[in-house]
Amino acid sequence: MNDYIRFDRRSEALASLKEFASCLARVNEDALIWKWAIISIDNALQGYMTTALIKGNSFDTWRKKDLKAWLKSHDADEPYPMTRLDGFYGLYEKAFGEEVDKGRGGVWNLHEIRNSFVHFNIDGHSISPGTCLDICTAGYEDIKRLLANDGGRLFYHDSEREAYEAVCADIDKLLFDTAALYGIRAE
């Protein structure tokens, strides 16, 4: 048994994607599991975006002001300041080269609902299963789009890509089955 558990961008993104699949398999038993499906797919998307932005360093994942301060310290041979990960929408723009559509839907809605769930800044939510399915699907499709264009660099080992592909195969089937279960749509 290891003395430590290793958390990193790649393992976290894959674990979140696996949790999303697990949630999809259970939403028919308990609709409240949609909350965890939304949180996990949002986390997976952010994990894969940050992984895609790493190109030998973490610069593209940082807030602009932190990068500027870090580079200034580097040039002046001074101690480096603390840096923070850029916000979700900044990461999205960097990873995809486009802004998140801030209309009421898709990934924007996914992330806003995720924030409400995580920070519980309202007393409750009423969301249709169709909306849950749509926003989760939007996040999942963006993950697939990101990894389809990665040039093979997001995975260090074949086993990582194989694990990703296996969970995606499960998710594809679960999304189809979930849509049929709710009578929403079947693609």
Q: What mean pLDDT is predicted for residues 140-162?
A: 85
Q: Can you spell out the DSSP letters for the chain?
A: --SS----HHHHHHHHHHHHHHHHHHTTT-GGGHHHHHHHHHHHHHHHHHHHH-SSSSGGGB-HHHHHHHHHHHHTT-PPPP--BPPHHHHHHHHHSS----SSSHHHHHHHHHHHHHH--SS-----HHHHHHHHHHHHHHHHHHHHTSTT-S-SSHHHHHHHHHHHHHHHHHHHHHHHHHTS---
**For 77-89, what is each residue's pLDDT tens digit?**
999 989 888 999 9
Q: Could you tell me if residue 94 is inside a domain?
A: yes
pTM of the predicted protein model: 0.88
Is residue 29's pLDDT more than 90? yes
pLDDT at 103: 55
Domains of the chain: total: 1
Q: Could you tell me if residue 75 is inside a domain?
A: no
pLDDT at 39: 97
Q: Could you tell me if residue 174 is inside a domain?
A: yes
Q: Could you tell me if residue 47 is inside a domain?
A: yes
Q: Could you tell me if residue 114 is inside a domain?
A: yes
Q: Could you tell me if residue 51 is inside a domain?
A: yes
Which domain, by its residues, includes 159?
9-55+88-182
> Residue 67's Cα: distance from chain center in Å?
23
Q: Could you tell me if residue 81 is inside a domain?
A: no
pLDDT at 185: 58
pLDDT at 1: 66
pLDDT at 187: 47
Q: Could you tell me if residue 63 is inside a domain?
A: no
